[in-house]
Amino acid sequence: DRGDWTALGQLLDASHASLRDDYDVSCAELDAAQTAATQAPDCYGARMMGGGFGGSVIAICRDGRGPAVAEHVIESYKTLFLASQPGAPTPPDLDIIQAKAGPGAQLRPIPDDDDDEPPFIPAVDLLRTWAAAAAASS
């Protein structure tokens, strides 16, 4: 259902577990960061992102609570990692990037010539223009 953040969080957590357990594309550092995020009270859920074997974790948090979740992850991450990997060297510090979800993909009209905005050109039209220019120059 629209706006069901708890369900979205459960799906993110299940997706991470599948990537870790079924596909073996996670790593101890990602698992520790994901666990640290999901243990934060204001985090709905988290999963690894990217191609695996290192990379990023995305966490969905209550509105305005991202800084608190980030602080929890920073405080918990190394302890969780070292507990899961006895004798391993201390992992590197995390880079935390906070973002707010936008409205998603949208159709935008091409503005009139007298507007100050640059024209919106669909990517397909740009590719056709570049392909034509490349063909003409060869």
| Per-residue model confidence as pLDDT tens for the chain (138 residues) | 578 999 999 999 999 999 999 999 999 999 999 999 999 999 999 999 987 777 899 999 999 999 999 999 999 999 999 999 989 888 888 889 988 887 777 777 766 666 565 555 555 555 555 566 666 766
One-letter amino acid of 53:
F
How many Å apart are CA 130 and CA 136, to the nearest integer? Answer: 10
Question: Would you state the pLDDT for residue 50?
Answer: 85
How many Å apart are CA 26 and CA 45, to the nearest integer? Answer: 16
How many Å apart are CA 32 and CA 83, to the nearest integer? Answer: 9
Consecutive H or E run containing 84: helix 66-84
Question: Would you state the pLDDT for residue 55?
Answer: 84
Question: Would you state the pLDDT for residue 72?
Answer: 94
What is the pTM (predicted TM-score) of this model? 0.72
Question: Would you state the pLDDT for residue 109?
Answer: 73
Question: Would you state the pLDDT for residue 125?
Answer: 53
How many Å apart are CA 85 and CA 29, to the nearest integer? Answer: 10
How many Å apart are CA 133 and CA 83, to the nearest integer? Answer: 57
Burial annotation 111-132 (CB, 10 A radius, 16+ → b, else e): eeeeeeeeeeeeeeeeeeeeee
Tokens 């223009």 correspond to 129
SS3 at position 37: helix
One-letter amino acid of 137:
S
Consecutive H or E run containing 12: helix 5-21
Residues 16, 56: contact at Cβ < 8 Å? no
Question: Would you state the pLDDT for residue 123?
Answer: 55
